[in-house]
Amino acid sequence: MNEITLGEGSTPLLRAPRLGERYGVEELWLKWEGANPTGSFKDRGMAVATTRAVERGVTRLVCASTGNTAASSAAYAARAGIEAVIVVPAGAIAASKLVQVRAVGGTIVEVEGSFSDAFAHAEALASEPGSTFVNSGGSEDRIEGQMTVAAEIAEQLGGAPDAVTLPYGGGGNTRAVARGFEELVSSLPALYPVEAARRPDTVASAIRITEPVHERWVHEAVERSGGSLITVTDEEILDAWKNLRALEGVFSEPASAAGIAGLAHAEHEGLVVCIVTGHGLKDPAAVGA
């Protein structure tokens, strides 16, 4: 097998005592996914999806994205010597993410409307010969790749944490994290996916998704885990984003701080891991807001 990799995974797990104190969490850790090659957790699944696509003779990756899947698919396609076509809702994507796509030769298609409109358009493009759909809603490979974060956290801690919080957009990552803990670690922490109250126009542009494809699985996993689904305001997200930077020196993008904002609402005890999903250089515009 010709593995298509950029060295994704094996990201830092950082103890965050100052942030923990702020949110009243006894033992808080940050899984810093911004340290991945294109700056987000998406690289884990994209490595698997691209490797398997190339094995099947695919010559074009197609996805819809709020920006990070875009940057990731374009980079892995370039690495594999194939094309990437990315459909995005016009005007809704952080500029740096589009730069990431163009820098490695990816093609951006803008559509009027929401992420769901972009998703439908991408699905149609992906049905053309030689193409494959690499959204987690259409690719089990993406989910399998993203499961690795659970095994890594357990390895770094020497066991599963008591609770995990993470941002919730389409839900693919929550689904992957749940499956990862259940299948690779045999122990499911209480899961707290955190969504933005202002879903269609939240400041957390990466999670501007009103119809999460994985909703059913997310609800089932949360139920099994004994956690809960949390909704936070944009003010809470911006506040958490600032706290994460100022108290721990971790500069994430706004959406990635949703998991931190959720700490104020999660009924957790003991050791909590927040998955901090993407790098701040991707979406710096709101700093100072």
Which residues in this chain contact ligand F0G in the complex, by CB under 6 A? Answer: 40, 42, 65-69, 167-174, 206-207, 253, 255-256, 277-278
Question: How near is the Cβ of 256 to ligand F0G at its closest, in Å?
Answer: 5
Question: How near is the Cβ of 171 to ligand F0G at its closest, in Å?
Answer: 5
Task: Rank residues 51 and 65 by Cβ distance to ligand F0G and give the closer one.
Answer: 65
Question: How near is the Cβ of 41 to ligand F0G at its closest, in Å?
Answer: 7
Question: How near is the Cβ of 191 to ligand F0G at its closest, in Å?
Answer: 12
Task: Rank residues 27 and 110 by Cβ distance to ligand F0G and give the closer one.
Answer: 110
Widest CA span of the chain, in angstroms? 54
- Kindly provide the residue ranges of all beta strands, DSSP E only, lying in 90-160, ordered along the sequence: 107-111, 131-133
Task: Rank residues 68 and 243 by Cβ distance to ligand F0G and give the closer one.
Answer: 68
- Kindly provide the residue ranges of all beta strands, DSSP E only, lying in 189-241, ordered along the sequence: 190-196, 230-232
Task: Rank residues 182 and 215 by Cβ distance to ligand F0G and give the closer one.
Answer: 215
Residue 177, Cα to own-chain centre: how many angstroms? 11
Task: Rank residues 29 and 241 by Cβ distance to ligand F0G and give the closer one.
Answer: 241
Task: Rank residues 145 and 171 by Cβ distance to ligand F0G and give the closer one.
Answer: 171
Question: How near is the Cβ of 185 to ligand F0G at its closest, in Å?
Answer: 19
- Asked if residue 121 lies in contact with residue 86, where contact means CB atoms within 8 angstroms, the answer is no
Structure tokens at 260: 């931190």
Question: How near is the Cβ of 168 to ligand F0G at its closest, in Å?
Answer: 5
- Kindly provide the residue ranges of all beta strands, DSSP E only, lying in 90-227, ordered along the sequence: 107-111, 131-133, 163-167, 190-196
In angstroms, the CA 154 to CA 227 distance is 18
Pinpoint the alpha helices (H) of 81-198: 95-103, 115-126, 140-146, 148-157, 172-180
> Which residue of the chain is nearest ligand F0G when measured via CB?
169
Task: Rank residues 42 and 268 by Cβ distance to ligand F0G and give the closer one.
Answer: 42
- Kindly provide the residue ranges of all beta strands, DSSP E only, lying in the chain, ordered along the sequence: 13-15, 27-32, 60-64, 83-89, 107-111, 131-133, 163-167, 190-196, 230-232, 271-276
Question: How near is the Cβ of 2 to ligand F0G at its closest, in Å?
Answer: 26
In angstroms, the CA 23 to CA 4 distance is 40
- Return the sign of the alpha-carbon dihedral for residues 158, 162, 168, 172: positive
